[in-house]
Amino acid sequence: MAVRLKDIAQDLGVSTITVSKVLRGGTDISEATRERVLRRVQELNYRPNMLARGLAGGPTGTMGLLVPDLVQPFFAEFAKALSSLLREHDLALILASSEEDPAIEEREIRALVHRGVDVLLLASCRESLLDLPALGVAPTPCVLFDRSFRGVDAAFVGLDEVEVGRLATNHLLEQGCTRVAHIGGKATSPAVGRLEGYCQAVRQHGLVLPAAYVHSCGHVEEGGFDTGFEAMQALLALPVPPDAVFCYNDMTAVGAMEAVLRAGLRVPEDVAVVGCGNFRFAEYLRRPLSSIDQNVAELGRIAGTMALALAVDAQAPARQVLLQPRLIARASSLRRERG
């Protein structure tokens, strides 16, 4: 049987309460006892029983992470960074997946909260999160990430998605492209933000582009390749096809490139392409893919830090952090000598 609070207390001739207080940083403890307790805790390598602690009303030392799809590199990297950080604090991570299904997401939220996670980290696939309290989340504090929601007063970490759209589109325009299209997503905040950035960049360059240059596709997350492939085919079939395209993510971009190549056209000479995500294979593709780097590891670390703060004090002010994206230019978009 593992070492218990009681064992330490008996060894030292004090009560369990005293030990408990020391462990949780109580102030009303003499420096002498505190040291004695801590030493013994070290010696016996005592670890609190989190089940008991949780049951008695304390924290469970557990955080819940709910993502739409762990196989997407974005979420895998996020989970890895978060997990690294939590390990340093002896916290455990309960992982759940919504499979991009709001009904599953709701069930999983309830399950995690019911299990007593100290904080919930959520990349929601719902349309609105206004009913988050109704989902029974409170009083469990919550850190949203990747996808933000209007009118929800929760901590949030994500990318400056408008800047993502601007970066990609400006880059394409600067490469001399004049007919830039966008294959984007639907409804989610990243999709909306990237589209907005795209529009801003186009406007700033004094261009007016056909509405048909914007494709807003559902399921762009999972169906990436096919979505990109089909959207690009449609774009190429326009009377005046685009000479560049900014794609919602890298897989979509791969699909789009494939469509361009199969149409007998060249990348980037006929159609320049920029993706988003900057996955590890971007530079080894048939045509090395320019992409927007999302700095996911940093995102995970920030989200984790926020979560830690909320675990200590659930009432801590809900910060909103936006990270700046970076463009990684590769052959798929570089039309000029030396970029």
Partner DNA sequence: CTGAAAGCGCTAACAT
Partner DNA sequence: ATGTTAGCGCTTTCAG
Distance CA 339, CA 330 (A): 9
Distance CA 141, CA 119 (A): 5
The interface with a copy of itself within residues 225-244 (CB under 8 A) comprises 225
Placement of tokens 């830039």 in the chain: 180
Residue 70 contact among a copy of itself, DNA, none, beta carbon within 5 to 8 Å by kind = a copy of itself
CB 108 within 8 A of CB 98: yes
Supply 156's token pair.
């949030």
Which stretch of DSSP H or E encloses residue 33?
helix 31-44
Residue 17 contact among DNA, a copy of itself, none, beta carbon within 5 to 8 Å by kind = DNA
Among 20, 62, 124, 170, binds DNA (CB under 7 A): 20
Count, residues near a copy of itself per rule CB under 8 A? 48
Residue 15 contact among a copy of itself, DNA, none, beta carbon within 5 to 8 Å by kind = DNA
The interface with a copy of itself within residues 56-85 (CB under 8 A) comprises 60, 62, 65, 69-71, 73, 76-77, 79-80, 83-84
CB 254 within 8 A of CB 288: no
Binding string to DNA for residues 56 to 75, with x set by CB under 7 A, is what? xxx-----------------
Does residue number 5 form part of the binding site for DNA (CB under 7 A)? yes
Characterize the bridge pairing of strands 92-97 and 180-184: unpaired
Residue 60 contact among DNA, a copy of itself, none, beta carbon within 5 to 8 Å by kind = a copy of itself
Instruction: Collapse the DSSP code of 269 into the 3-class scheme (helix H, G, I; strand E, B; otherwise coil) and give the result.
Output: coil
Measured in whole angstroms, the distance separating CA 199 from the mean position of its chain's CA atoms is 24
Does residue number 14 form part of the binding site for a copy of itself (CB under 8 A)? no
Among 6, 24, 39, 47, binds a copy of itself (CB under 8 A): 47
Distance CA 339, CA 337 (A): 5
The interface with a copy of itself within residues 106-145 (CB under 8 A) comprises 108, 111-112, 114-116
Does residue number 93 form part of the binding site for a copy of itself (CB under 8 A)? yes
HEC per residue, 227-254: HHHHHHHHHHCCCCCCCEEEECCHHHHH
Distance CA 204, CA 195 (A): 14
First to last CA, the chain: 65
Residues written for the chain: 339
Does residue number 15 form part of the binding site for DNA (CB under 7 A)? yes
Does residue number 90 form part of the binding site for a copy of itself (CB under 8 A)? yes
Does residue number 45 form part of the binding site for DNA (CB under 7 A)? no
Which stretch of DSSP H or E encloses residue 32?
helix 31-44
E runs forming strands in 176-247: 180-184, 214-216, 244-247
CB-nearer residue toward a copy of itself: 209 or 245: 245
Which residues in this chain contact DNA in the complex, by CB under 7 A?
1-2, 4-6, 13-18, 20-21, 23-24, 26-33, 48-49, 52-53, 55-58
Which residues in this chain contact a copy of itself in the complex, by CB under 8 A?
2, 47, 49-52, 54-55, 60, 62, 65, 69-71, 73, 76-77, 79-80, 83-84, 87, 90, 92-97, 99, 104, 108, 111-112, 114-116, 225, 251, 254, 257-258, 279-281, 284-286
